[in-house]
Amino acid sequence: MSQVSETQLPGVGVRHDFQTHEGDRIGVLSHRTGRRELLLYDRDDPDACRAVIHLDIEETHTLSELLGGSKVSESVAAVQQQVEGLAIDWITVSAGSAYAEATIADSELRTRTGVSIVAVVRGEQTVPAPGPDFTLAAGDVAVVVGTPEGIATAFELLQG
Amino acid sequence: MLLAAASGDVALVFTELGLLVFGLALLARLSNRFGLSPIPLYLLAGLTLGDGGLAQLELSEEFIEVTAEIGVILLLLTLGLEYTAEELRSGLRAGLPAGVVDAVANFTPGLLGGLLLGWDARAAILLGGMTWISSSGVIAKVLDDLDRLGNRETPSILSILVLEDLAMAVYLPVVAVLLAGSGLVAGGLSLAVALLTVAVVLGVALRHGETISRLLATRSDEVLLLSVFGLTLLVAGIAQRLQVSAAIGAFLVGIAVGGQVSDRATLLIGPLRDLFAATFFLFFGLQVNPGSLPPVLAAAALLAVVTAVTKVMTGWWAARRAGVARAGRIRAGTVLIARGEFSIVIAGLGVAAGVEPALGAFAAAYVLVLAVTGPVVTRFADELARASARLRRPTAAADGARG
């Protein structure tokens, strides 16, 4: 993945930008309100934008679908922006774990660690917001959200 | 009989109010057409309709005054809501040097100007505040209109605005105590109380903002709007009673409310603020007799030029620190020129306290000049940068030849 730099814009939102192989600098400004601006920086004046495209929430989804972006990583990023002190991680359920073949409800992961499973990636397939009766399998990648300490505990449980 | 008289009054009040608000709408539409802030036009409307103006309003002064006061409170509430606790904290950490340069470079000309005009020290301190605080409302709009929010000089600009925001939390209580003019001991005591309150509220907001927001959190927009509006008026009233100034109370409510609640509250309060704030600018204009403008015009214009230059230097300096090139530095400097709502709020405090008869007219003239020229000048920032580069090039070439 390209080196993405993040800049907080107080009162406005957050800006991410990176350099393409051809030397263009591209950025995305995510407003707090949810609308986005797609930025293309000027080569002569690298501080300014040559083109700015305004996108509402729906247009952002359309564009990211066309570009092949996944909705999971996007919504996870949105959660991360809103809540301070929140950590997100990807944990692979190991075959030896007591949680392989257990439902999310049975695992009591949230009760034990305070960590929630927001999505499960199984092979090519992604299950966003799995319900309590979703059965985890060895090899599943669980996308978890919680405090850094809770996630450390969850790591031990799911990989133990 | 009584009923008839009352209904006649109501008819008159509605008609006049309707015409007034509709007139303001036309002015706002006009200023939108030219991409300018409507504030100068509201002020001009007030000047035309007030004492010594072309027409006189029949509306009760009291009604407009209360509406205008609510306008000030909502302006400061939204100023407080604008930044999250985290943004204030990191802004303070990263932007402090720029904030200090901004304060020194832009407060001093106003203060000295006031003293040179022979005003009393309190009026001069108010004038310093007016020249110091840029208009975050005008600047946010200009940056958005000119598609500059993504530019690399923009974080420097926003960080200066955050610091000015925080500085208001200290400046306003100091001014409120100075204006109350209650002797050295009593004044010192109430200043200590005021600053302590501000420090406690800021501390609580920065640490426990989430808790406050959770208490206010609700699914219903109606409940949230009424809770935030009610809480703001209540705290503003208590603050005024404690001589801390209603404005600072409202500002602190805005700071204390954080997180998602703050984003939603901003959206809900926005239209309400636009309505009341428009009345506030109108009311400010109403209080100024147009006849008192010409004597202060030259001095106000001179101060406007000086403080436009000091703001450009501030923005240039801040952007250069962030590694931005010349064109970006000029964009950052020129966009900061605009003064608006907060200069009028500060002047309004002085006018209400009656410290200096010329203050109102001076403030109106000053803001009229800078709220209009600021956005216009920054529109041509890139042309200015090219022109200055052309001026520099011959010397640069000469340097190159020598080397």
Query: A interface toward B at CB cutoff 8 Å?
Result: 7-12, 15, 27, 29, 32-33, 37, 39, 45-49, 52, 82, 84
Whether residue B321 has pLDDT greater than 80:
yes
How far apart, in whole angstroms, are the C-alpha atoms of residue B290 and residue A49? Answer: 44
A29 vs chain B: nearest CA distance in angstroms?
6
Residue B353's pLDDT band, with cuts at 50, 70 and 90, is: confident
For the record, the structure tokens of B76 come out as 């400061």
Question: Region B128-153: what's the mean pLDDT?
Answer: 93
| pLDDT of res. B41 | 92
- Which range (B262-266, B303-307, B322-326) has the least confidence? B262-266
* Mean pLDDT calculated for residue range B10-16: 81
Contact (Cβ atoms closer than 8 angstroms) between residue B330 and residue B343: no
- Closest chain A C-alpha to B302 CA, distance in angstroms: 32
Per-residue confidence (pLDDT) for residue B370, from 0 to 100 = 94
Of A11, A15, A84, the CB nearest to B82: A11
pLDDT, chain A, mean: 82
Q: Is the pLDDT of residue B5 over 50?
A: no
pLDDT tens digits, one per residue of B54-110: 666 666 677 888 889 999 999 999 988 888 777 888 888 888 999 999 999 999 999
User: Which residue has tokens 């006061």?
Assistant: B69
> Is pLDDT above 90 for B317?
yes
B168 or A69, higher pLDDT: B168
* Dihedral angle computed from the Cα positions of residues A53, A54, A56 and A57, in that order, rounded to the nearest 10 degrees: 50
Q: Kindly report the nearest CA distance between residue A49 and chain B, in angstroms.
A: 6
- Model pLDDT for residues A34-80, shown as the tens digit of each residue: 889 999 999 989 999 999 999 998 898 888 888 876 555 555 555 55
Compute the mean pLDDT over every residue in chain B, rounded to the nearest whole number.
86
Tokens 């539409």 sit at which residue? B29
All residues of chain A having their beta carbon less than 8 Å from the beta carbon of residue B88 are 10
User: What percentage of residues in chain B have a pLDDT greater than 90?
Assistant: 46
CA dihedral B368, B371, B372, B378 (to 10 degrees): 150
Most confident of A77-86, A119-128, B302-311: B302-311
CB A93 within 8 A of CB A142: yes
Q: Quote the minimal CA–CA distance from B157 to chain A in Å.
A: 10
Residues of A in contact with B328 (CB under 8 A): 45, 47-48
Mean pLDDT over B160-189 rounds to 84
Which of these ranges, A12-21, A76-85, B257-266, B327-336, has the smallest mean pLDDT? A76-85
CB contact under 8 A, A47 and B159: no
Average pLDDT over residues B201-205: 78
Binary contact (B150, A27; C-beta < 8 A) = yes
> What pLDDT shows up at residue B403?
38
What residues in A contact B316, CB-CB < 8 Å?
none
Hey, is the C-beta of B90 within 8 angstroms of any chain A C-beta?
yes
> CB–CB of A49 and B150 under 8 A?
yes
Chain B CA closest to residue A17: B150
At residue B4 the predicted structure's pLDDT band, cuts being 50, 70 and 90, is very low
Angle between helices B61-82 and B259-287 (to 10 degrees): 140
CA distance B202 to B283: 31
ipTM of the complex: 0.78
Nearest CB partner across the interface for B162, out of A7, A10, A46:
A10
Cβ separation of A32 and B91 shorter than 8 Å?
Answer: no
Considering CB atoms only, which of A12, A45, A46 is closest to B149?
Answer: A12
B388 interface with A at CB cutoff 8 Å: no
Q: Does residue B173 carry a pLDDT above 90?
A: no
Q: In this structure, are strands A25-31 and A87-92 parallel, antiparallel, or unpaired? A: unpaired
Across the interface, whether the CB atoms of B147 and A29 are under 8 A apart is answered no
Nearest partner of B262 among B14, B84, B389, judged by Cα: B84
Residue A74 has what pLDDT? Answer: 54
Tell me the pLDDT band of B402, cut-offs 50, 70 and 90.
very low
Cβ neighbours of A10 in B, within 8 Å: 83-84, 87-88, 90-91, 158-159, 161-162
Residue of A nearest to B137 (CA): A11
SS3 A28: strand
Which chain A positions have a beta carbon within 8 Å of B140's beta carbon? Answer: 11-12
The vertex-B242 CA angle with B237 and B247, nearest 5°, equals 50
Closest CB to B150 among A29, A32, A46: A29
User: In 3-state terms, what secondary structure has residue A96?
Assistant: coil
Q: How many C-beta atoms surround the C-beta of residue A144 within 10 A? A: 24
Q: Is B78 on the interface with A (CB under 8 A)?
A: no
Q: B153 — contact with chain A (CB < 8 Å)?
A: yes
Contacts of A32 in chain B (CB under 8 A): 263
B217 pLDDT more than 80: no
Residue B398's pLDDT band (cuts 50, 70, 90)? very low
Average pLDDT for B172-182: 82
Burial of A89 (0-12, 13-18, 19+ CB in 10 A): middle
**Cβ(B339)–Cβ(B374) below 8 Å:** yes
Please report the number of interchain residue pairs, chain A to chain B, with beta-carbon separation below 8 angstroms: 70
What is the tens place of the pLDDT at every residue in A89-138?
A: 778 888 777 777 888 888 888 888 888 888 888 877 888 888 888 888 88
Q: Is B159 on the interface with A (CB under 8 A)?
A: yes
- Does B158 contact A27 at a Cβ distance shorter than 8 Å? no
Gap between the Cα atoms of B129 and B164, Å rounded: 10
What letters, b where the CB count within 10 A reaches 16 and e where it falls short, cover B189-203?
ebbeebbebbeebbe
Residue B244: is its pLDDT beyond 50?
yes
φ and ψ of A23, to 5 deg: 100, 0
User: Residue A84: is its pLDDT beyond 80?
Assistant: no
Q: Provide the 10 A C-beta neighbour count for residue B215.
A: 11
Beta bridge partners of A6: A16
Residue of A nearest to B80 (CA): A11
Of the partner residues A32, A45, A49, the one whose CB lies closest to the CB of residue B147: A49
